[in-house]
Amino acid sequence: MSQTIAAPSVNPSARRMLVRAWSDPESRSTLVGLAGVILFYLLLWLVAPYILHFEPAPGASHPPAAAKLFNIELAPDVFTKPAPKPPPFKFVETNPDAPENTPDQTNNFAARNQQVAQEKPTPDGKSDRPALEGKKDFDSTQIVDGHLNQPLENIEAVPPPTETREAQQSIAAPKLEQNPLPGFEKKQGDDPDSFGSNVVKLPTNPKPIPEKIEGAKDVPEVEGASANQIAIDPQHPRPRPQVVKQQNTRPAIFAENKFGTSNIGNIAVDAKWSNYGAYLQRMIDTVQTQWERILIDSRIYPASGSTVTVKFIMDSEGKIARIVNVDSTASDSASRACISGITDRAPYGPWTDDMIAMLGKQQEMTFTFYYQ
């Protein structure tokens, strides 16, 4: 037989303790305070998530939890203001008859030193180019007009075409018109030994010849006379003799410039000499002369006002590396003449060290040809 001893119940004991504590006024106040504290924290725990809830700002993004932040520290010299880029240099063609004079300051470079001047000064003029009458909205590197009369080096003369050569040969003077003496022998009068004839006015150029010779009436009577005559093409007449000596420079199309300089002298432009300027001037003159030679030999007469713009690459050896683009309003033959004017005389010689330092190994150039 087994026995089990049961533990006394807790509930009756707890009730008796609470009743005893509640009966005591001091114990009752302590219990009320403790219950109030517990109730306050319970309510705070339940209501706090709603009271302290904030809506995120529109468009705001929170970095992911795994994102890493880092600082960037820049060296002080990064904040240094970069030096301004120098203005671009511009090639200009000077006046070969103007005296050499180095300008104080200019962005123009050329084949010689020159300071801007003009024959009639512009009051308070400060331009680095002389005042010129020309085309509006047109960019030109030239200030004087002329003709290149110096022959190119190492270029053989091309004989003229057969028709031109025959037309330039000496032509014998035309024959003089000659007429025989007029009248007929006639015997009249009483004396049987007398003679008589009809009286008439002598014709032009009478000669004692049996028959008339056709020819011109105003040819001088010079034995062996001849005349050197050149055939004239009515469509392309020869230019009139030039009374004023032309300058040894390229034919020019001027750009209009109303505001010139107050300096008085032969027309000139501000420019400083450089190897690149001298090289480019020789190249331009060579292309001009070769282009004119091609037009004369091929008898190409494009429409007046047409243009051909050729963009090409030149390397430091003076060779034409490639033709980049050709923009033409002229005929195909006129465009080919411009391209040949550039390529036929290449190479133009190696560049100097300072040219290579400024231009690199290659340089893109653009030449525009104008047919007038």
Q: Is the pLDDT of residue 235 over 90?
A: no
Query: What architecture does CATH give domain 274-372?
Result: 2-Layer Sandwich (3.30)
Give the percent of the chain with pLDDT over 70: 56
Q: Tens digit of pLDDT for each residue in 14-52?
A: 666 666 666 767 777 777 777 878 887 788 777 776 666
What's residue 327's pLDDT?
A: 95
At residue 247 the predicted structure's pLDDT band, cuts being 50, 70 and 90, is confident
Q: Tens digit of pLDDT for each residue in 59-73?
A: 555 555 445 555 665
Q: Is the pLDDT of residue 2 over 50?
A: no
Return the minimum-mean-pLDDT range out of 21-25, 103-107, 140-144, 183-187.
Answer: 183-187
Domain residue ranges of the chain, discontinuous segments joined by +: 87-157+251-273, 175-215, 274-372
Q: Measured at the alpha carbon of residue 101, what is the angle toward residues 99 and 102, in degrees to the nearest 5?
A: 155
What's residue 158's pLDDT?
A: 44
At residue 285 the predicted structure's pLDDT band, cuts being 50, 70 and 90, is very high
Q: Which two tokens stand for residue 100?
A: 């050499």
Q: Is the pLDDT of residue 115 over 90?
A: yes
In the three-class reduction of DSSP (H, G, I as helix; E, B as strand; rest coil), residue 324 is classed as strand
What's residue 152's pLDDT?
A: 44
Count of alpha carbons within 13 angstroms of residue 177, beta-carbon side: 8
Query: Rounded mean pLDDT of 215-239?
Result: 59
Return the minimum-mean-pLDDT range out of 4-8, 242-246, 302-306, 357-361.
Answer: 4-8
Element (H, E) at 355: helix 353-359
- C-alpha span between 318 and 359 (Å, rounded): 12
Global pTM?
0.54
At residue 1 the predicted structure's pLDDT band, cuts being 50, 70 and 90, is very low
What's residue 367's pLDDT?
A: 95
Q: Is the pLDDT of residue 255 over 50?
A: yes
> Contact at 8 Å (CB) between 285 and 278?
no
Element (H, E) at 180: strand 179-180
Query: Rounded mean pLDDT of 268-295?
Result: 93
DSSP string, 20-56: HHHHSHHHHHHHHHHHHHHHHHHHHHHHHHHHT--PP
Query: Rounded mean pLDDT of 240-257?
Result: 75
At residue 286 the predicted structure's pLDDT band, cuts being 50, 70 and 90, is very high
Q: Tens digit of pLDDT for each residue in 167-215?
A: 445 455 566 666 665 655 555 556 666 655 555 566 666 666 667 777 7
What's residue 248's pLDDT?
A: 80
Mean pLDDT of the chain: 76
Which of the 8 DSSP states describes residue 320? E
Residues 6+ apart with CB under 8 A from 138: 253, 255, 256
- C-alpha span between 314 and 303 (Å, rounded): 29
- C-alpha span between 164 and 240 (Å, rounded): 19
What's residue 22's pLDDT?
A: 67
Q: How far is CA 185 from the centre of its chain?
A: 88
What's residue 214's pLDDT?
A: 72
What's residue 156's pLDDT?
A: 43
Element (H, E) at 218: none
Phi, psi of 176 (to 5 degrees): -85, 135
Q: Tens digit of pLDDT for each residue in 153-168?
A: 443 444 445 554 454 4
What's residue 68's pLDDT?
A: 52
248 to 146, 358, 361, 370: CA distances (angstroms): 6, 30, 32, 19
> Contact at 8 Å (CB) between 143 and 94?
yes
Q: Which residue has the higher pLDDT, 268 or 212?
A: 268
- C-alpha span between 210 and 133 (Å, rounded): 70
What's residue 15's pLDDT?
A: 67
